[in-house]
């Protein structure tokens, strides 16, 4: 089969090559891949792994061969899920407990925006507890995860402020029902009950100071890759504030991913969340996708059609 792999030239310069077909374990289904998505984690892995490595977490396709142990979806089912860093390929062996069947009305390219972004958002928001009527501040709200987190918090009854760098990066968020705070030099109007942060650096530090007594900061990213700093009065000025860290690839070991992913796909099918890609590009042009991610020109997920 063909797969996108990292090259010696530069790990972020990907190449379509012939590689051996995957050999599913008894608890894995063989998926014919229709779409995959680009996550920042893919690019971090690209530079850490040896030349010739496959990549890709978000996967959508059709089950060619169900799991030999009888678990998971049947042959022919259209599924979305979490692959083991090998989704950018014609075929992928995916654990049957990392997949859900895609309902009618949700396209492949919409569904593939949801596994990483939807599950990360869902679990981050669940860590914050009851959201009805709560004030939630989402940083990185223009990103693949942020746009879904904003919508899930709104669907749960929260009053949501989406914090973005510029008006262009905030496009579409007000239409979901969020208030949009623009510019990192201007803190949004607090206080907030919940901070959902994936940006890190000064954005995290400022967001933290906007939490009210007993608030929760749920952190799952550090996109700016800077030290996280807390103000000197971090504790006594805000008694009871909690900071939670969420790592999806650890979280999935003690979650019911098929049920949670089915919930997200059903919300998309019902029109309660919008999951369309920010950029859809053929996998034959992976550089376009990588450059778009780096240049911060895409609102939402970047999707590769296979
Ligand atoms: N812990 C986990 O399991 C987990 C799971 C998924 C994602 N993540 C992490 O969470 C973060 C968000 O993921 P994502 O998929 O939503 O990424 P994304 O689509 O690239 O979005 C990141 C957002 O961060 C904002 N940003 C602020 N400062 C930035 C900077 N210096 N460089 C680039 N972007 C900057 C950008 O919005 P503006 O342009 O408006 O500033 C951008 O929309 C990433 O760091 C990712 O690695 C972690």
Task: Supply the pLDDT for residue 151.
Answer: 98
Mean pLDDT of 21-42: 97
136: domain CATH number is 3.40.50.720
Is residue 266 in a domain?
Answer: no
Do residue 11 and residue 91 come from a single domain? Answer: yes
Ligand 1 centroid to Cα of residue 160, in Å, is 18
Q: Cα separation of 210 and 163, whole Å?
A: 13
Residue 9 has pLDDT above 80, yes or no: no
Cβ < 6 A, ligand 1 pocket:
39-41, 116, 120, 140, 142-146, 164-165, 169, 198-199, 220-221, 223-224, 246-248, 293, 296
Q: What is the mean pLDDT of residues 203-223?
A: 96
The model's pLDDT over 151-198, given as tens digits with 9 standing for 90+, comes to 999 999 999 999 999 999 999 999 999 999 999 999 999 999 999 999
Asked if residue 128 and residue 222 are part of one domain, the reply reads yes
In terms of domains, do 143 and 244 share one?
yes
Q: Could you tell me what percent of the chain has a pLDDT over 70?
A: 100
Average pLDDT, whole number, for the chain?
A: 96
Question: Ligand 1: which of 56, 141, 221 to mutate, judged by most atoms within 8 Å of the beta carbon?
Answer: 221
Q: How confident is the model at residue 30 (pLDDT cuts 50, 70, 90)?
A: very high
> Relative to the CA of 222, which ligand 1 atom is closest?
45
Q: How far is 280 from 69, CA to CA, in rounded Å?
A: 35
- Tokens matching residue 227: 């030290």
Q: CA dihedral in degrees (111, 56, 119, 68; nearest 10)?
A: 80
* Residue 240 shares a structural domain with residue 149: yes
**Distance from Cα 23 to the centre of ligand 1, integer Å:** 33
Question: For 265-279, what is the mean pLDDT?
Answer: 97
Residue 51: the pLDDT is 92
Asked if residue 185 lies in contact with residue 202, where contact means CB atoms within 8 angstroms, the answer is no
Structural domains in the chain (count):
2
Q: How far is ligand 1, taken at its centre, from the CA of residue 71, in Å?
A: 34
Distances from the Cα of 201 to the Cα of 73, 94, 251, angstroms:
42, 35, 24
Q: Average of pLDDT values for 10-36?
A: 94
CATH code of 103's domain: 3.90.180.10
Please check whether residues 103 and 131 belong to one and the same domain.
Answer: no
- Flag whether pLDDT at 42 surpasses 90: yes
Say if 260 falls within a structural domain.
no
SS3 per residue for 204-256: HHHHHHCEEEEEEEEECCCCCCCCCCCCCCCCCCCCCCEEEECCHHHHHHHCC
Do 46 and 26 lie in one domain? The reply is: yes
pLDDT at 13: 87
Residue 150 covered by a domain: yes
Residues 139, 184, single domain; the answer is yes
Better-scored residue on pLDDT, 38 or 237: 38
Contact call for residues 192 and 135 (beta carbons, < 8 A): yes
Lowest mean pLDDT among 31-35, 95-99, 234-238: 234-238
List pLDDT tens digits, range 92-128.
Answer: 999 999 999 999 999 999 999 999 999 999 999 999 9
| Whole-number Å distance between alpha carbons of 230 and 208 | 8
pLDDT above 80 for 296: yes
pLDDT for residue 12: 80
Quick: pLDDT tens for 131-154: 999 999 999 999 999 999 999 999
Domain range spanning residue 41? 2-113+276-305
Q: Return the sign of the alpha-carbon dihedral for residues 101, 104, 108, 110.
A: negative
* Closest by Cα among 79, 97, 70, 184 to 137: 184
- Tell me if the bond preceding 231 is cis, omega within 30° of 0: no
Mean pLDDT within 206-229: 95
Is 152 within the bounds of a domain? yes
**Do 282 and 201 reside in the same domain of the chain?**
no
Same domain, 105 and 127: no
Q: What are phi and psi of 99, to 5 degrees?
A: -130, 155
Q: Whose Cα sits closest to atom 30 in ligand 1?
A: 224
- Both 135 and 234 in one domain: the answer is yes
- Determine the average pLDDT of the residues in 263-270: 98
Residue 237 has pLDDT above 90, yes or no: no
- 71 and 161 in a single domain? The answer is no
Q: What is the pLDDT of residue 235?
A: 85
Residues 133 and 107 in one domain: no
**Is 284 a domain residue?**
yes
What is the percent of the chain with per-residue pLDDT over 90, rounded to a whole number?
94
| pLDDT value of residue 10 | 76
Give 45-68 pLDDT, tens digit per residue.
998 999 999 999 999 999 999 999
Q: Of 249, 265, 284, which marks where a domain is finished?
A: 249
């Amino acid at each position: 089969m063909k797969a996108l792999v990292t090259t010696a030239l530069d790990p972020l310069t990907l190449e379509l090559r012939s590689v051996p077909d995957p050999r599913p374990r008894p608890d894995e289904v063989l998926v014919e891949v229709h779409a995959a998505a680009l996550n920042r984690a893919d690019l971090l892995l690209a530079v850490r792994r040896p030349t010739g490595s496959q990549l890709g977490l978000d996967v959508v396709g059709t089950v060619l061969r169900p799991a030999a142990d009888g678990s998971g979806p049947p042959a022919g089912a259209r599924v979305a899920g979490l692959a083991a860093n090998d989704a950018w390929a014609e075929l992928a062996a995916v654990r049957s407990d990392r997949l859900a069947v895609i309902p009618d009305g949700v396209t492949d390219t919409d569904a593939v925006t949801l596994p990483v972004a939807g599950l990360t958002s869902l679990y981050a928001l669940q860590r914050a507890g009851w959201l009805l009527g709560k004030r939630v501040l989402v940083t990185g709200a223009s990103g693949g995860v942020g746009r879904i987190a904003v919508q899930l918090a709104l669907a749960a009854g929260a009053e949501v402020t989406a914090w973005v760098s510029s008006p262009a990066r905030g496009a579409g968020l007000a239409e979901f029902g969020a208030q949009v705070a623009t510019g990192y030099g201007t803190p949004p109007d607090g206080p907030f009950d919940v901070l959902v942060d994936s940006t890190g650096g000064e954005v995290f530090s400022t967001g933290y100071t906007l939490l009210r007594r007993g608030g929760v900061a749920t952190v799952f990213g550090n996109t700016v890759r800077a030290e996280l700093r807390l103000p000197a009065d971090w504790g006594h000025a805000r008694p009871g504030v909690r900071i939670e860290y969420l790592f999806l690839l650890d979280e999935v070991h003690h979650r019911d991913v098929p049920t949670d992913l089915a919930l997200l796909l059903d919300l998309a099918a019902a029109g309660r969340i919008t999951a369309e890609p920010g950029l859809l590009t053929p996998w034959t042009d992976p550089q376009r996708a990588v450059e778009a991610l780096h240049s911060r020109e895409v609102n939402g997920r970047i999707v590769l059609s296979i």
